Amino acid sequence: MDLVVKKFGGTSVGDISKIQGVADLIVRYISQKNRRVVAVVSAMAGETNRLLHLGRSCVASPVPRELDVLLSTGEQVTTALLAMALCERGVKAKSFSGWQANISTDRNFSRAHIKAIDTKALNQALEGGFVPVVAGFQGIDDEGDITTLGRGGSDITAVALAAALKADRCYIYTDVPGVFTADPSVCSSAKLLRQISHEEMLEFSSLGAKVLHPRSVYFAMAYNIPLVVKSTFQEGSGTWIVKEGKLMEKPIVTGITYRTDEAKITVSKLPAASSAFGALFKRLANEGIFIDMITQTGFDGKLTDISFTVLDEQSSLALEITQNLVPELRAQGAFCDRNIAKISVIGIGMRYHTGVAARIFEALAKEDIAVEMISTSEIKVSVVVPRKYWEVAVHTLHSAFVGEDLTIEKESQDEIRSAV
């Protein structure tokens, strides 16, 4: 018997008629035999913000434990409504809050991590012929307190449940048909990807594609859960996110992503061997500032410039901390540039193919776009460019890499496989 987890995000359950639509979708799915479903739902679109606003209008800074108690009601409402809608359609269904589904987390309120899921109650419901409708985004800690998982939480709940229940697949229903080679609202020639590896999806998510949260992709990769991203509102097979070995084809470049929410901080003219840099990064980390790219430039034998990128919203604090350390670093100064964008070129085929970085420089140079920073991994190249050129850069790189069919040929793939 086939068991799948189907997760419906906030826009998919955004109002009553959409919840009814989701119920119809589930009924259609299980009308074919040997199919069992566990549904995972988010709060109705706007509900989490409404609750947050309620909390913040009550107190200036809500205590984390109580904020989670407040926010967790959003998903609970959706589970009840969807379970009702399924029951009305003659399907046995039962809602589960995070604590009822035994989703154990640590005690980091508002950004808790799932530690374990005891599937006894869910399995019992499944064996009884019920469709369990589980509240995403929430769990319970060892002290019996309600916790929430933070951004992307419902995706993580879905993938973690799929892993714990040893489900065959996990569907992530959303308001787009799947994962595209580039953001289709920016790049009209972007194509829907039929397949993509977990590793590539992890880069896509981390580097700007909003369709899935990196933590949920990481979970799916770690537990080898095939993910399917598809639209709640349109027919279509969506994008399948699978183990690398299961890919039908391996393009060198799978897609282009961008982020325009980062800023670059540069420490100028400091001794190349400055040991104080460790202290700077430690202090930034202690303040919860996440550092993304780090590059060293302009080395003249003695002095060098070091740049790193941080989230826009953390850039003022990061700059302040950095400036305070300028004397200790024996640098000339520190400044911040918020007018940057990061464009990333991603593809699992890069593992077996060099020259992508060179082609990026070449393509961007044709458009007179300067590359300010570059960072590479085994399957991606990210470049920082002036923010005003971000759309041109996405277009240029998309047509340079994805426009052409740069798939590694079947023969060379087989060759690679036998070599690994």
Query: Residues touching a copy of itself: how many (CB under 8 A)?
Result: 38
The C-alpha angle 32, 229, 224, rounded to 5 degrees, equals: 90
Return the number of the residue (60 or 420) whose C-beta is nearest a copy of itself. Answer: 60
Question: What is the amino acid identity at position 42?
Answer: S
Amino acid sitting at position 36? R
Q: Which of 67, 170, 187, 207 binds a copy of itself (CB under 8 A)?
A: 67
Q: Considering the rule CB under 8 A, would residue 57 count as an interface residue with a copy of itself?
A: yes
CB of 301 to a copy of itself, least distance (A): 57
Considering only residues 7 through 36, tell me which ones interact with a copy of itself, judged by CB under 8 A: 16, 19-20
80 binds a copy of itself (CB under 8 A): yes
Report the alpha-carbon distance of residue 226 to residue 386 in Å, rounded: 37
Residue tagged 């050129």 (tokens): 389
Give the number of C-alpha atoms closer than 13 A to the C-alpha of residue 181, restricted to the C-beta side. Answer: 24
Query: Tokens in use for 398?
Result: 């998309």
Report the distance separating Cα 261 and Cα 339, nearest Å. 9
- Stretch 182-211 residues interacting with a copy of itself (CB under 8 A): none
Candidate list 4, 83, 211, 318; residue touching a copy of itself; CB under 8 A: 83
Tell me the β-bridge partners of 271: 303
Q: Does residue 413 bind a copy of itself (CB under 8 A)?
A: no
Express the helix, strand and coil content of the chain in percent, nearest 5 each: 40, 25, 35
Nearest approach in angstroms of CB 4 to a copy of itself is: 22
d(CA 188, CA 207): 20
85 binds a copy of itself (CB under 8 A): yes
Closer to a copy of itself by Cβ: residue 63 or 116:
63
From 12, 42, 95, 315, residue interacting with a copy of itself (rule: CB under 8 A): 95
Is the Cβ of residue 3 or residue 77 nearer to a copy of itself in the bound state?
A: 77
63 is a site residue for a copy of itself (CB under 8 A):
yes
- Is residue 279 a contact point for a copy of itself (CB under 8 A)? no
- CA–CA dist 250, 409 (Å, integer): 8
Which residue's structure tokens are 């391996």?
250
Joined tokens for residue 220:
């799916």
Q: Which residues bind a copy of itself (CB under 8 A)?
A: 16, 19-20, 51, 54-55, 57-63, 65-67, 69-70, 72-73, 76-77, 79-81, 83-85, 87-88, 94-95, 97, 99-100, 121, 144, 146
